[in-house]
Amino acid sequence: MAGVDTVLIFVIIGVVILAGAVAYGVNLVRGRAGRTIEREAPPAAPGLPAEDLDRRPPTDSTDTVAPPESPGAPAPAPEATGPEAPPAPTAPPAPTVERPESARGRLQRLRARLARSNSSIGQGLLALLSRGSLDEETWEEVEDTLIRSDLGVEATTELVDSLRTKVKVDGTTDEATVRGWLRDDLLALVQPDMDRRIASSRVGDRPAVILVVGVNGTGKTTTVGKLARVLVAEDREVILGAADTFRAAAADQLETWGARVGVVTVRSDKDGADPAAVAFDAVKAGIEEEADVVIIDTAGRLHNKVGLMDELGKVKRVIEKQSEIDEVLLVLDATTGQNGLQQAKVFSEAVNVTGIVLTKLDGTAKGGIVVAVQRQLGVPVKLVGLGEGPDDLAPFDPEAFVDAIVM
């Protein structure tokens, strides 16, 4: 019996131990089943809100295996981690080509500028001529006023004699009447019947050729650039020749003027080149390109320097080997007065001047230079400069000019 009891006790103990183990295992399983495993959210992509993470497209989780490196092969370049490379530079935009307005009637629009500078002539004369009585002293003052305006002695004498006769015959010094007489007589002196057209159309199978000459400081290169604008406004195909090879900036200046209106400039690559050669090349280009007109800018030169004047003659002769010269424009500074007349005479002897360009006419009260220079050379004033703007070069209009004086 004692042996049976002992076995029973061991059985009971084993059952108890087994039951405890089973209970422990059940509780352990239940505890694990009730826990929540929190995974750290992957980092948000730059610029993407965290709340949008679950809306991002799924990524491919397949690993990419790099191929084994060959012995001696160079190591792959490390991936750049710096800032993004700047974009490739883009070509600059094409320059805007200007389209100038027609120059027709331009002097009428600029008449007020001319009137401001020449008002002393008209107002002074009218004040003198409108006096109740005109004695010899008054007529002498009239003559002095006209001579100071650079009208010239001969033209002054003609004008005063005409006015004295009209006052004597009519017996009046009424201002309106005198103004009319003065206008008519001045207009006659300016010679409105002169041909002031500029050669700007093709002659047969070649372009018209314009040679521009003058002394230093008259604004010659600027005048050439402005003339190109005048002709472009009239739908002319223009080529410029930079034959002023002695002044370093002259060719650059002329090229800039041409580029603004889409005009080609023929120039030399080096300073001090033969100006006659450049002029020849410009005319040749005009013939090949079938241009309407070629304008040649020449170096400024003192009229009393024989060597320089001879060189200008050479330029003319070289051009004439392939084309006639249709126009020689002499650029004069209107403020130089009688000195400008001497310049005009010498240049005319060297290159047969066909027309005058008067610059700075708005800056002088000596408008009489128009009459004087035409009488000196027997050629017309064709263009006048009345300001610094690109379109302040105007075809000369005799009536507008006289009206600006006596308005």
Q: What is the pLDDT of residues 85-129, one digit of tens each?
A: 566 556 555 567 888 887 777 777 777 777 766 666 777 777 887
Q: Which overall architecture, per CATH, does domain 208-398 show?
A: 3-Layer(aba) Sandwich (3.40)
Does the annotation list 219 as a binding residue? yes
Does the annotation list 359 as a binding residue? yes
Does the annotation list 221 as a binding residue? yes
Does the annotation list 20 as a binding residue? no
Does the annotation list 216 as a binding residue? yes
Does the annotation list 298 as a binding residue? yes
Q: What is the pLDDT of residue 269?
A: 84
Does the annotation list 36 as a binding residue? no
Does the annotation list 217 as a binding residue? yes
pTM flag (> 0.75) = no
Please answer whether residues 286 and 328 qualify as being in contact, where contact means their C-beta atoms are separated by less than 8 angstroms.
Answer: no
Does the annotation list 215 as a binding residue? yes
335, 303, 226, 400: CA torsion to nearest 10? 40
Does the annotation list 218 as a binding residue? yes
Does the annotation list 28 as a binding residue? no
Domain ranges in the chain with CATH number 1.20.120.140: 106-190
Name the token pair of 231.
């002709």
Q: What is the pLDDT of residue 39?
A: 34
Summarised one tens digit per residue, pLDDT across range 173-190 is 788 888 899 899 999 999
Q: What is the pLDDT of residue 258?
A: 94
Q: What is the pLDDT of residue 294?
A: 98
Does the annotation list 299 as a binding residue? yes
- The CATH code belonging to domain 106-190 is 1.20.120.140
Does the annotation list 118 as a binding residue? no
- What 248-253 contacts at long range (C-beta under 8 Å, 24+ apart), as own/partner pairs, is 250/221, 250/297, 250/299, 253/221, 253/222, 253/225
Please answer whether residues 293 and 238 qualify as being in contact, where contact means their C-beta atoms are separated by less than 8 angstroms.
Answer: yes
Residue ranges of the chain with per-residue pLDDT less than 50? 26, 28-78, 80, 82
Q: What is the pLDDT of residue 254?
A: 94
Does the annotation list 90 as a binding residue? no
Q: How far apart are CA 394 and CA 106, in angstroms?
A: 6
Beta strand extents in 117-261 (DSSP E only): 208-214, 238-243
Domain ranges in the chain with CATH number 3.40.50.300: 208-398
